[in-house]
Chain A
Amino acid sequence: MLESDKEKVLAALRRNRIASMATVTADGQPQAVTILYVVDDDLNLYFVTREKSRKVANLDANGMVAMSIGLEPPMNVQLEGRAVRVDDELVRADKMAELAHAGADLEDLWPPILRVGKEGYVLYKVMPEKVRALDLSDHNISSEDPPYIELM
């Protein structure tokens, strides 16, 4: 992995705060949701949801997720990996505070998690197993040779 490529993708992930995320139900049906996330330096993503949400039930049965993130800056990041619950209280406090700040930065979009809270929160860490990013600033995008940055 080229460090410069990783930095480009990290910059895109840090600039965006919202991802479309797919999980699968216990019987294999797909479910897509929108999440608020934060990212660490190793490309791990963190998101919070409610204990009673469908995604928690899905992730309990199958931790694999797929995400599509953003068009700003002109880059779409596609990430596949495994989501695991975070129980460490210090990490939870740190990441929940980061997520709260991320939510506060979204002036016109108040993430659903901040509107319907009050139930038990579950924090997840998504550890990527495959990351690729489509650089949409490339003016010569073609189906034969799309300008993907492959990180994993």
Chain B
Amino acid sequence: MPKRKKVSILIVEDDQLLAKALEAKLLQEDFDVSFAIDGQSAVEAAVRDKPDVILLDLLLPIMGGFEVLSSLKLNDETKDIPVLILSNLSQAKEIERGQDLGAKEYLIKSDVSLKTVLEKIRGLLKL
């Protein structure tokens, strides 16, 4: 029987401790995980690897998360990849901007647990 392809998640996060914790959790749940630590490499990784979901921080070096999201949605190759924003930015205007740019979910780091992040990813993928 052919092996089922794992669901792939691109974590875009420059906080190494948080990125490692997210990676550990997602690997426990049998996802395939890759990283980008700045906005520019996130866009490159998304175009190259076509992950199933992108977990996107907003405050990033080189290119900010909103710019990344905008770039992904303007590219036919990446526009359909669901993006879940995970950020400390919690102002209504920031949440609205993320949603307007096409994020499927907007989670505020201080409000959610890893379990919630996982549930949202599963919800996006209808797993």
Contact = CB atoms under 8 A, between A and B. Distances in A.
Q: Do A and B come from one complex?
A: yes
Binding site of B, secondary structure by majority: helix, strand, loop or mixed?
A: helix
Interface in B1-60: 14-25, 28, 59
Nearest to A97: B20
Contacts of B113: 107-110
A117 B114 contact: no
A118 interface: yes
B71 interface: no
A103 interface: yes
A56 interface: no
B59 A118 contact: yes
Interface residues of A, number: 21
Interface string A90-103: 00000011011101
A117 B23 CA distance: 16
Contacts of B24: 100-101, 103-105
A116 interface: yes
A118 B115 contact: no
A119 B18 CA distance: 12
Contact of A116 (B19, B110, B114, B115): B110
A104 B25 contact: yes
Contacts of A96: 16-17, 20
A139 interface: no
B88 interface: yes
Contact of A104 (B16, B28, B109): B28
Nearest to B117: A110
Contacts of B112: 110
Nearest to B19: A100
Interface in A61-107: 96-97, 99-101, 103-107
Contacts of B23: 100
A48 B15 CA distance: 13
Interface string A5-41: 0000000000000000000000000000000000000
A114 interface: yes
A15 to B, nearest CB: 17
Contact of B109 (A97, A103, A109, A115): A115
Contact of B114 (A48, A104, A118, A121): A104
A113 interface: yes
A116 B88 contact: yes
A118 B20 contact: no
Query: What are the 9 tightest A-B residue pairs by CB atom distance, in nearest-first order?
Result: A100-B20, A104-B24, A104-B25, A100-B21, A110-B113, A117-B15, A107-B115, A103-B21, A101-B24
